[in-house]
Amino acid sequence: MNISEIKKLIISSMDADTDTVEVSGKLEEEGVSYNFSNNFADKVRNRLLSAGLTMNREVNFVKYMNFAFYRIALTGVAAIVILLISIFLMEGSISFNSFLGLRDNYDESIVCLLTGN
């Protein structure tokens, strides 16, 4: 097939009623073919494996973060409970003042403490 015939074939492929299967077949016979490299499937597989490893790492990170969060949260709750018990044992009650460490202070004395007058 000469160049002008190939050009005609290309142009004819844009006619709505052309048999496009025939056009693509003829072009393939003329050496118009597209391929990826020989080891394309292996490259895809390698990329999938490396993506899988990255994903596993992300999953592990989230898992460890959750674990760390629960440990910190449980430790915090335990510390608060111990603090409340110790306040109860020392003060005999768990009032807001005792929780803040305020004993016999009146409002005026707090104002004096804060303003210095």
Partner 1 sequence: MINESYKVTEEAELVKASLNGNNDAFGEIVNRYQKMVARTVKGMLGDSVFSEDIGQEVFINLYHSLSEFRGEAKLSTYIQKIAVNLTLNEIKRRKRFFSLFSQKANNEMYEYEIADHETEDRNEASEIVNKALLSLDPKFRIILTMRMLQGYSTKETAEMLNLPLGTVLSRLSRAQEQLKSILKKL
Residues within the interface to partner 1 (CB under 8 A): 1, 3, 6-7, 10-11, 13-16, 18, 20-25, 27, 30-37, 40-41, 43-45, 47-48, 51
- Taking the least distance from each CB to partner 1, the nearer of 50 and 95 is 50
- Residue closer to partner 1 by CB (options 21, 90) is 21
Between CA 51 and CA 57 the distance in angstroms is 10
CB of residue 29 to partner 1, shortest distance in Å: 9
Q: Pick from 70, 71, 94: which is nearest to 83 by CA? A: 94
Question: Which among 103, 108, 106 is positioned nearest to 91, based on CA atoms?
Answer: 103
> CB-wise, 17 or 104, nearer to partner 1?
17
Give whole-number Cα distances, 72 to 56, 75, 105, 109, in Å: 24, 5, 35, 38
**Least distance from C-beta 114 to partner 1, angstroms?**
59
Tokens of 55: 């994903």
Sequence letter at residue 26 = K
Minimum Å distance from CB 57 to partner 1?
17
Smallest separation (angstroms) from partner 1 to the CB of 63: 21
